[in-house]
A and B are shown apart, each in its own frame.
Chain A
Amino acid sequence: MIWNETKECMSRDEIETLQSKRLVKVVDRVYHNVEYYRKKMQELGLEPGDIHGIEDLHRLPFTTYEDLNATYPFGLAAVPNSELVRLQASSGTTGKPKIAVYTRRDIDIWSECAARCMTMAGITRDDIIQVGYGYGLFTGGLGAHYGAEYLGALVIPMSTGNTQKLVTMMVDCEATAIACTPSYLLHVAETLRDQGLLDKIKLRVALCGAEPWTDNMRNQVEEMLHIKAHDIYGLTEILGPGVATDCDHHTGLHIWEDHFLPEIIHPETGEQLGDGEGGELVITTLTKEGMPLLRYRTKDLTSLDKSRCECGRTMARIQRFKGRTDDMLIIRGVNVFPSQVEAALLTIDGTTPHYMMVVDRVNNEDTLEVQVEVEERFFSDEIRGLEELSRKIAKTLKLAIGLNAKIKLVEPNGLEHSEGKTKHVIDKRKLY
């Protein structure tokens, strides 16, 4: 099923004509309404009139996380506050969150994009959908919620944190669809199995995102629950969930090119790469009013396939992600940077700046262990002092990164120290 056939299936020529038209407009808007972009363009000797279409895209400046940080919180807003109706945020590397602001029209477009994704996954207005993403600053909950409402489905806003209630309501309310992170879905599946409820559910489709997952995981969850599972991609800076999703053919994630202009660049030289070539995904928002971004560097490594898909859609497909250009980790759907952990540890008396994060997936749930070196003066013949230190570290980390971590105290010099780039992460999940 296709939500908006006119848009989703237009010819490549039509797509590019529309993108060119919209790119010219968005460049004009940011130049005149966002001082930061005006300066960036002026530094490159660019004026809005120089951009005639997508063939000139490569001349425009990139936008990076550092730009978001420099303009935090509202420096990239292109409309006055009176036009804005929503703010969402996700974690950044240095404590400052990445903020996105939306106008009413942005929310409408977001809702339609999410509805297109849901339709692609086979969800309709007849479905009862449980949204199992967190509601709040994180785009997952509200994004999926608005998309499902826009579609006309019956939405159960479960949020996160109460698996038992989710499972009970899935059975009692005969939920047919769910939106959550893939690892959470597996946890839900296992809970259903352990309680002997697998044959009591009416679930038929899951739309999972906010963290990378493997085909293996998809197959596992599909088999366990007898459902179809689809992948949904999005990022706060660009929109939230609803930027791209895979169709039944699972040959990549169709990105809504009428709203988001994707390109692949060489992560080091910044040079544009051709279709099928692997590099960093860069997205320009074509219709966003609240906070339009030019050439935003997602730091996600992938390639694009612009050939027509068997499903009939012509929108480019983002291929399997190959990793990230930075050290960001996605743990239980939460973005975590080692630098956040480091900064949090530095505030605690009794620890050294040496630490190691060990990420794993145990029974399909992400686990995070943080190994911390203890300062010798904090060690004594009593166990209480160290236990208190351990609890304090766990509490501080929870506040800093929003995740419960298992703390392992290690001896001074128990971790690798080096003059160069010390390894701070061991990721055993093999996601890419």
Chain B
Amino acid sequence: MFIKQLSVFLENRKGRLDEVLTILKNHDINIISASLADSSEFGLLRLLVNDTEKAKMVLKESGFMAKTNDIIAIVIPHKVGSLVEVLSLIDKADINIEYMYGLSTESDGAAIAIKTSDLDATVRALESIHPKYYTQEEMR
């Protein structure tokens, strides 16, 4: 139920984001979701792509600092209260959300990618509502 996310360090320099995206395009890598976190001095690009390892490799070959890590993506129905239902359970289990961002999935419409302080505990905390996880296979 975990999926691999790719994080890329972006220097605060004009055109750097464009370079990343161009490299991915040239290697035929499809971006499923992208989220840009920025501080005043640098940026951090988080990506879900169809081939994480290949994306990481081609970016590193071009001198980018790129790393992969696990996150979870939960399918959220387009219904009032469905996001808060998930987040409340995480909160009640005393787990911190580090960051989250949305993505669209072909089957059910939308999912939310979440990184928490403890992913295993997060999965346990959500067991009661039987959430549907967006999987690595669906990303390909």
Contacts and interface: CB of A to CB of B under 8 A. Distances in A.
Give the one of B5, B65, B71 with max A CB within 10 A. B65
Contact of B7 (A380, A390, A412): A380
B46 A374 contact: no
B37 to A, nearest CB: 5
Nearest to B10: A411
Contact of B69 (A376, A381, A383, A406): A381
Interface string A397-424: 0000000001111111110000000000
Nearest to A411: B65
Interface in B57-116: 63-65, 67, 69, 71, 98-99, 115
B41 interface: yes
B9 interface: yes
A314 to B, nearest CB: 55
B63 to A, nearest CB: 6
Contacts of B42: 386, 408-409
B118 interface: no
Interface residues of B, number: 20
A302 to B, nearest CB: 39
A66 interface: no
A413 B9 CA distance: 13
B39 interface: yes
What is the predominant secondary structure among interface residues of chain A facing chain B? mixed
A386 B44 contact: yes
B39 A410 contact: no
Nearest to A406: B41
B12 interface: yes
Contacts of B37: 383
Contacts of A386: 9, 39, 42, 44
A376 B11 CA distance: 14
Contacts of B12: 408
Nearest to B66: A379
A376 B65 contact: yes
Interface in B28-69: 37, 39, 41-42, 44, 46, 63-65, 67, 69
Contacts of A407: 41
A407 B46 CA distance: 23
Contacts of B65: 374, 376, 379, 411-412
Interface string A355-378: 000000000000000000010100
Contacts of B11: 408-411, 414
A382 interface: yes
A14 interface: no
A327 interface: no
Nearest to B63: A413
Contacts of B5: 381
A382 B116 CA distance: 11
A407 B12 CA distance: 11
Among B9, B63, B115: residue with most chain A CB under 10 A = B9
A122 to B, nearest CB: 45
A380 B6 CA distance: 10
A387 interface: yes
Interface string B1-38: 00001010101100000000000000000000000010
17 contacts: A374-B9, A374-B65, A379-B65, A379-B67, A380-B67, A381-B5, A381-B44, A381-B71, A382-B115, A383-B44, A386-B44, A407-B41, A408-B41, A408-B42, A409-B11, A411-B9, A413-B63
A-B CB proximity, top 10 nearest: A381-B7, A381-B69, A383-B37, A379-B65, A409-B42, A411-B65, A410-B11, A383-B44, A379-B9, A408-B41
Interface of B: 5, 7, 9, 11-12, 37, 39, 41-42, 44, 46, 63-65, 67, 69, 71, 98-99, 115
Given A383-B37, A413-B63, A414-B63, 8 more contacts: A379-B7, A380-B69, A381-B7, A381-B46, A381-B69, A383-B39, A383-B44, A411-B63
